[in-house]
A and B are shown apart, each in its own frame.
Chain A
Amino acid sequence: MNKMTYSQILDHVARDQMAANTNLAPRILAQIQKGKSAKMNPRLKVFAAVVVALLVIGVVLMNVPGVRAAIQSWFGYVPGIGLVSEGQIRVLAEPVSVTRDGIALNIEQVLVDPNQTTVVYSVEGLTGEMLDSNPMWNTAGCYKDATLRLPAEELSSTDQIGTNWLTGYEHKTTYPAIPSTVNEVTLVLPCIRSAIPGKTPENWELAFRLVPAPPEMTAFPVIEISTPVEVTNTVAPQAATEGKLSIEGISLSLDRAVQMDDGYLLYATLHWENTGLSSVDRNDTPTMHLLDANGQEIPFTYDLDALSTMEWQPGQTSFAIRTAQIEAAGPITFVLDSIVVTAAVPIETSFTFDPGPDPKPGQVWELDKYFHVGYGHSLRVLRATYPKPPLENLPLQPGFSFDIESQTGVMQAMLYDKDHPLAGGGGGGGSFTGIFSAGFSYAGGIPEGPITVDIESIGFNVPGHWEASWTPPATTPRSTSTPQSSACLTRESWQQALKAHVSLPSNLGGKLAISDLLPPTYNYEISVVDLDGSHRKSLGFGSAPSLSPNGTRVVHVGPMIDGPSKGLFITDLASAITTPLPGTATGDMGPLWSPDGQRIAFTRGPASGLIGAPGPYNIIMMNVDGSDVRQLTQSESANYLAAWMPDSISILYTEPSRDGVTLNLMNTQTGESRVLFETNYNGTFSISPDGKRFAFEEMLPLDKYGLFVSDFEGSNRKLLADGISYTVTIPAWSPDGQWVIASVHDQNASNEFNARLALIHVDTCQIIALPKDLVGYVSSWLP
Chain B
Amino acid sequence: MEDLQAIRRLKRGDIGGLECLIARYQGKALRTAFLITHDEQMAEDVVQDVFVRFYQRAECFDESRPFEPYFMRSVVNAALNLVERENKGYSFADEDTSELEELLEQAASVEEQVEYNTLKWQISEALAKLHPRQRAAIIQRYYLEMSEKEMSEALDSPPGTVKWLLNAARTRLRSLLGLERMAE
In contact, B34 and A7 (Cβ under 8 angstroms): no
In whole Å, how far is B21's beta carbon from the nearest beta carbon of chain A? 8
Query: How far apart are B75's CB and chain A's nearest CB, in angstroms?
Result: 12
- Whether B24 lies near A612 (C-beta < 8 A) is yes
When each residue 695-733 of chain A gets 1 if its CB lies under 8 Å from chain B and 0 otherwise, what string results?
Answer: 000000001010000000000000000010001010000
Interface contact B23-A10, CB-CB below 8 Å: no
Q: Are B4 and A304 in contact (CB under 8 A)?
A: yes
Q: Is B48 in contact with A424, judged by CB distance below 8 angstroms?
A: no
B-facing mask of A669-699, CB < 8 A → 1, else 0? 0000000000000100000000000000000
Of B48, B55, B57, B130, which contacts A391 at CB under 8 A? B130
Task: Assess whether A11 is interfacial by the CB under 8 Å rule.
Answer: yes
Whether B23 lies near A610 (C-beta < 8 A) is yes
Task: Name the A residues within 8 Å of B26 (CB-CB).
Answer: 22-25
> A44 at interface (Cβ–Cβ under 8 A)?
no
B165 at the interface (CB under 8 A from A): yes
Contact flag A6-B179 (CB < 8 Å), given A13-B35, A135-B27: yes
Is B156's beta carbon under 8 Å from chain A?
A: yes
A362-B142 in contact given A304-B64, A308-B64, A391-B131 (Cβ < 8 Å):
no
Q: Is A390's CB under 8 angstroms from B133's CB?
A: yes
A28 CB contact (under 8 Å) in B11, B22, B57: B22
Taking the closest CB of chain B, its distance from the CB of A764, in whole angstroms, is: 27
Contacts of B4 in A (CB 8 A): 163, 304
SS class, residues of chain B in contact with chain A: helix
Q: Cβ of B156 and Cβ of A17 under 8 Å apart?
A: no
Near A by CB (< 8 A), chain B positions 91-128 give 91-92, 94-95, 110-113, 116-117, 120-121, 123-124, 127
Contact A611 B143, beta carbon cutoff 8 Å: no
Q: Could you say which residues of chain A place their CB within 8 Å of the CB of B59? A: 284-286
Chain B residues, CB < 8 A from A304: 4, 63-64
The distance in angstroms between the C-alpha atoms of A308 and B124, with both chains bound, is: 40
Which residues of A lie under 8 Å from residue B19 when comparing CB positions? Answer: 25, 29, 611-612
Chain B residues near A13: list those with CB within 8 A.
Answer: 35, 120, 123-124, 127
Option from B11, B62, B110, B134 in Cβ contact (under 8 Å) with A390: B134
From B1, B3, B30, B139, A682 is in contact (CB under 8 Å) with: B1
For B11, list chain A residues within 8 Å (CB): 285, 747
Interface contact B143-A39, CB-CB below 8 Å:
no
Q: Could you tell me the distance in whole angstroms from the C-beta of A459 to the nearest C-beta in chain B?
A: 12
A17-B40, A135-B27, A392-B95 known; A727 vs B12 contact (CB < 8 Å): yes
- Contacting pair B130 A727 (CB below 8 A): no
Contact of B124 among A17, A27, A302 (CB under 8 A): A17
B residues near A24, Cβ cutoff 8 Å? 22, 26, 30, 44, 47-48, 51
A390–B15 Cα gap in the complex (Å)? 40
Give the distance to chain B from A255, nearest Cβ to Cβ, in Å: 16
Q: Name the interface residues of B49-78: CB closer than 8 Å to any CB of A.
A: 51-53, 55-57, 59-60, 62-66, 77
Select which of A1, A23, A306 is within 8 A of B111 by beta carbon: A1
A727 touches B13 (CB 8 A): yes
CA distance A17 to B168 in the complex (A): 26
Q: CB-defined interface of A1-26 with B at 8 Å, one 1/0 digit per residue?
A: 10111110111111111110011110
Complex CA gap A682/B1 in Å reads: 8
Chain A residues with Cβ under 8 A from B134's Cβ?
390-391
Chain A residues whose CB sits within 8 angstroms of the CB of B12 once the complex forms: 705, 723, 727, 745, 747
The 10 nearest A-B residue pairs measured at CB:
A284-B59, A6-B142, A14-B31, A390-B131, A612-B23, A611-B23, A745-B13, A10-B143, A390-B134, A612-B20
Q: List 6 A-B contacts (CB under 8 A).
A: A10-B143, A13-B35, A35-B52, A307-B64, A385-B88, A705-B12
- Could you list 9 further interchain pairs (A-B, Cβ under 8 angstroms) beyond the known A428-B156, A432-B53? A7-B145, A10-B139, A14-B35, A24-B22, A162-B66, A364-B88, A394-B168, A431-B57, A747-B13
B interface residues with partner A (beta carbon < 8 Å): 1-4, 8-9, 11-15, 18-20, 22-24, 26-27, 30-32, 34-35, 40, 43-44, 47-48, 51-53, 55-57, 59-60, 62-66, 77, 81, 88-89, 91-92, 94-95, 110-113, 116-117, 120-121, 123-124, 127, 130-131, 133-134, 139, 141-145, 156, 158, 160-161, 165, 168-169, 172, 177, 179, 182-184
